[in-house]
């Protein structure tokens, strides 16, 4: 309530400012030679009054707006709208005070016996309805004042903090879901691939052990040797999908070179980094490239993939483009996991994949 009352006074100041200063500067605003200087003078005073409004929001409502430059036309629009809303608020507050005064007179008349109970009930019912409408008007005007300040000064620091908390909570839940999904994928890879090959290897060794002739045993052992090599290769692939050791030992460029070697589609690499990256950024960049290349090899029918890794100031930009058929689903499990991984670093992931291609995936990762 105190904030509304003070807002009525500041709105009155704004109204007087427009009436007095606007009238004095009006002729100069109309003359082209003096228009710019007159407008600068008008805006200077308007910004001081707007600063007073910001302090009112800070003292009575706890708002802390970020320091940023507000355009001149928005300053004038805000001050004019505040003057109008403050005038209406003053009228509503005056009506509320007048109603309280009338209620006091009615009670005094009742105590003196000059007012009957029936008339008192009628007046009380009417006064209650008017009081409800008055309070609702004040609540609506206060909400309008808050919305007006937010539109012109931006969200307050408290709102930005709450928004950040909500984003972190959503990101945390998405990360946990991505971890569970990755665990299920690893279990599926081990069960359907490595485990089946190990079973086949055990059966081959068992048959070789029971072989009736040396030639049959040698043949089975040769098959077992090939199977063991394939098991090692598949285990290495699973380990690379979990986390590439080359990323720690050799760096991002060599790790991406490994992705190129394992891909069935030719990859042109544009790697231009002069400064070392944080480990978390390197890991995210690697998995963005790895997942995008894997999807292209499986679904795009592409004949070439271009991978670009460049730094633009404090932001690492990773771009993967293929010349395939397009139509990638941004809501798929793979791209959803990339969104989560990039979002956990306050980055952004863009997927552009029109029907007919090409598909372009761009990740922007802050390095600071």
Q: What is the pTM of this model?
A: 0.49
Q: Which two tokens stand for residue 241?
A: 């999908």
Residue with the bigger pLDDT between 242 and 213: it is: 213
- pLDDT tens, 293-304? 888 888 888 888
Please state, as a whole number, how many other Cβ atoms lie within 10 Å of the Cβ of residue 144.
Answer: 15
Angle at 351 between CA 304 and CA 301, to 5 degrees: 30
272 has a pLDDT exceeding 90: no
- pLDDT tens, 95-138? 888 777 777 777 777 677 666 667 777 777 777 777 788 788 88
Instruction: For residue 320, give the 3-state DSSP assignment.
Output: strand
> What is the rounded distance in angstroms from the CA atom of residue 83 to the CA atom of residue 141?
12
CA dihedral 322, 243, 275, 363 (to 10 degrees): 40
> What is the rounded distance in angstroms from the CA atom of residue 92 to the CA atom of residue 96?
6
Residue with the bigger pLDDT between 196 and 266: it is: 266
């Amino acid at each position: 309530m105190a904030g509304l009352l003070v807002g009525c006074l500041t709105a009155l100041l704004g109204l007087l400012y427009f009436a007095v200063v606007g009238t004095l500067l009006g002729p100069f605003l109309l003359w082209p030679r003096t228009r710019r200087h007159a407008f600068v003078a008008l805006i200077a005073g308007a910004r001081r009054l707007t600063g007073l409004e910001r302090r009112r929001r800070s003292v009575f409502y706890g708002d802390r707006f970020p320091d940023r430059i507000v355009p001149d036309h928005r300053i004038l629009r805000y001050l004019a709208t505040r003057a109008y809303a403050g005038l209406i608020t003053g009228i509503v507050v005056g009506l509320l005070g007048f109603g309280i005064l009338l209620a006091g007179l009615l009670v005094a008349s009742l105590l003196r016996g000059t007012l009957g109970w029936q008339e008192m009930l009628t007046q009380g019912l009417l006064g209650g309805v008017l009081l409800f409408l008055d309070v609702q008007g004040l609540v609506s005007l206060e909400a309008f004042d808050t919305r007006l300040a937010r539109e012109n000064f931006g969200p307050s620091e408290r709102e930005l903090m709450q928004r950040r908390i909500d984003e972190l909570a959503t990101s945390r839940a998405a990360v946990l879901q991505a971890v569970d999904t990755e665990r299920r994928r690893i279990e599926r890879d081990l069960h359907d691939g490595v485990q089946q090959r190990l079973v086949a290897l055990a059966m081959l060794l068992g048959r070789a052990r029971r072989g009736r002739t040396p030639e049959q045993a040698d043949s089975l052992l040769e098959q077992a040797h090939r199977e063991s090599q394939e098991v090692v290769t598949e285990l290495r692939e699973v380990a690379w999908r979990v986390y590439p050791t080359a990323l720690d030992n050799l760096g991002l460029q060599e790790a991406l070179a490994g992705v190129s070697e394992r891909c069935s589609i030719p990859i042109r690499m544009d790697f231009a980094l002069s400064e070392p990256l944080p480990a978390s950024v390197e890991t995210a960049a690697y998995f963005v490239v790895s997942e995008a290349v894997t999807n292209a090899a499986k679904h795009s029918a592409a004949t070439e993939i271009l991978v670009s890794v460049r730094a633009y100031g404090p932001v690492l930009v990773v771009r993967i483009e293929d010349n395939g058929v397009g139509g990638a689903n941004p809501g798929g499990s793979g791209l959803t996991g990339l969104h989560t991984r990039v979002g956990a670093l306050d980055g952004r992931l863009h997927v552009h994949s029109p029907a007919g291609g090409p598909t372009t995936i761009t990740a922007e990762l802050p390095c600071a």
